[in-house]
Each structure stands twice: as C-alpha cells, then as structure tokens.
Chains A and B, each alone.
Chain A
C-alpha cells in the first residue's frame, strides 16, 4: 500500500496510535521534576525531539496512508535507538537520558518498520454485484 482512497486499514490506525504514543512518551523530557516513582522514561531534549518528529511522521503516514513515510519514521527511531546504544557503550549520551530512552525509541521504531514492511492485506475478491443498481 503506497497510498490511496478508502477507509484506513488496521496498519494505518496502528501507525497513528504509535505516533500518538511517541509524542506522549516524549513528554517525559519534562519528567525530571517528577518523583522517581513516576519517572518511567529518562530522555533528553534531542531524544524527545526525535520522538516527536517520528510520531508526527507516523501519524501523517496513517492519515495519508503512505507506507514509505512510515518506513522513514521507523528507520529514524531505530537509528536513534542504535545511536543511544553505541553512546551507552562509549559512556556518552547523544540523545540525553539513558537506556530507557533506547528501549522506547527502539520499540516504537521496530513497530513502525514491522507495519511498513509487512505484506499488504490481500485485496477483497471482486464482487460483480457490488455497485450494480
């Protein structure tokens, strides 16, 4: 599916849901003032910015039904997660935060790539009676 008309597929809706989740989780960039008990994700401004960009791309990909955009968003987030992983090994934090940011970025990125790389659902068999008066 590279775009088209008709109702949104489950994949499109899932991409919108993942995008919303990415933007919501980016909110943890403001979580440093939270008590530790509620600080589920530690993420810096760069990581949060990437989550927001990836989330917006994902939402747009679901609305306009463009798989290539979904792939791009997924690759962006997975790239960010891998960057954080390498940063952890080198004791630097390119995206701010820690390994929790890597898990969130990686998870959402893997989800988007899975949605974009899976085969399109089989087309409905053509019903010759449909559209007839």
Chain B
C-alpha cells in the first residue's frame, strides 16, 4: 500500500497491518512505564525501609557500572531522593501518558532513551538482572523514534495535518516533536 491507510494514520507508505503493529509497540512500551511508575512511592521513595526507588538507585553504588555516575548517585541522588524521586515519577508518568496517546511521540521516545540509560547505569550489574532487558528497552524507544509511532493511531497522526498547515510557533514545534 503506498498511501496513508486511514484517517488515524499519517504515515504514507505504511500498510495498515504495519501501522497497527507500530501502535501496539507504542502502547506496549507506554504500559511498561505506567506499570513501573506504580512503585515510585512518595514521600521518601523507599528511603526508610531501603526498598523501592531508593534501593534500586543505590544499586548504582553497590554494583557500579560507570564510576562517575555511581559517584553522582552516591553524592547527589541518594541524599536528595525525595527530589529525584518526584522527578522520576513525573518523567515516567509522562512517558506512560504521552506514549499511550501518541502525542509528541518522538520527543518522548528521546526522553525514554535517556531514562533507560539512567536505569541501565543503575542496575545493569545488580544481581539477577537480565542485561538484555535494558538493551531491549533502549531499542524499543529507538524503534518508536524511527517510526514516529504516534503517527499511527496516535494523536500525532490526527493533528499533524493541522500542525503542518499552520505557521504558528506551537504547531511548528509539534511537527518537530511528533
């Protein structure tokens, strides 16, 4: 098929079956973030009981992957886990929310890559971890970026024609982020 496959798809040349699979990939990754934001629990994010986000962040110090990152976590993140915990909660909640609906999808794919890198540097060498989990997380976000997955059954696909036809700043920005 050489033309857009439907009104909810703004991806010329993409077959309907491929568009559906791209949307499934995007929504699946969104659900991963949604499920995993659940255990980021304020206010202390696990500091009192050495569990939750505090425990997993401390793995960067216990089992260092990259020495400068471990020093950063030890000296800055863990003493201020309440601040970084809220940052993590909002970033991962945003990843789940925006990837689920496919809005500004390419931007959020880059955010997801960054967050995946931070997680990888924290827990790659932790006991009983399967390193390919983190490699696959990164690759999934690369695929979402490469396919501009929000254009397939996402809000990006619906609104891009309007953004492209507009000369407004916000529209031009959204064209780049989608």
State in angstroms the CA–CA spacing of A91 and B39 once bound together.
13
Tell me which of A108, A114, A121 has the highest count of chain B C-beta atoms within 10 A of its own C-beta.
A114
A70 smallest CB distance to B (angstroms): 12
User: For chain A, which range describes its interface: under 10, 10 to 19, 20 to 34, or 35 or more residues?
Assistant: 20 to 34
Known: A17-B8, A42-B38, A103-B97. A119 touches B43 (CB 8 A): no
B35–A40 contact, CB under 8 A? yes
Q: What are 21 A-B pairs at a CB distance below 8 A? A: A9-B7, A10-B7, A13-B7, A14-B155, A17-B8, A41-B34, A88-B89, A89-B42, A98-B38, A100-B34, A100-B35, A100-B37, A103-B96, A104-B96, A110-B103, A111-B100, A111-B155, A114-B155, A115-B158, A119-B162, A121-B161
Q: Does B145 lie at the interface of the complex (its beta carbon under 8 Å from any beta carbon of A)?
A: no
Contact with B along A97-122 (1 / 0, CB 8 A): 01110111011101100110011011
B37–A99 contact, CB under 8 A? yes
Of all chain A residues, the one with the shortest Cβ separation from B97 is A107
Known: A107-B100, A110-B101. A10 touches B158 (CB 8 A): yes
Residues of B within 8 A of A119 (CB): 162, 166
Q: Does B54 lie at the interface of the complex (its beta carbon under 8 Å from any beta carbon of A)?
A: no
Which 7 residue pairs are nearest across A and B when measured between Cβ atoms? Answer: A107-B97, A111-B101, A10-B7, A103-B96, A100-B38, A103-B93, A107-B100
Tell me which of A98, A107, A115, A121 has the highest count of chain B C-beta atoms within 10 A of its own C-beta.
A107
Q: Does A18 lie at the interface of the complex (its beta carbon under 8 Å from any beta carbon of B)?
A: yes
State in angstroms the CA–CA spacing of A118 and B37 once bound together.
29
State in angstroms the CA–CA spacing of A3 and B165 once bound together.
22
Known: A118-B159, A118-B162. A99 touches B38 (CB 8 A): yes
Residues of B within 8 A of A107 (CB): 30, 96-98, 100-101
Residues of A within 8 A of B98 (CB): 107, 110
Q: Which of A9, A41, A88, A106 lies in contact with B35, CB distance below 8 A? A: A41
A104–B97 contact, CB under 8 A? yes
Known: A13-B7, A100-B38, A104-B96. A122 touches B165 (CB 8 A): yes
Residues of A within 8 A of B89 (CB): 88, 99
Residues of B within 8 A of A17 (CB): 8, 153
A103 smallest CB distance to B (angstroms): 4
B8–A13 contact, CB under 8 A? yes
Which residues of chain B from 156 to 175 have a CB within 8 Å of any chain A CB?
157-159, 161-162, 165-166
Known: A41-B35, A42-B38. A108 touches B43 (CB 8 A): no
A88–B42 contact, CB under 8 A? yes
B103–A104 contact, CB under 8 A? no
Residues of A within 8 A of B165 (CB): 122
State in angstroms the CA–CA spacing of A13 and B166 once bound together.
22
Residues of B within 8 A of A41 (CB): 31, 34-35
Residues of B within 8 A of A18 (CB): 101
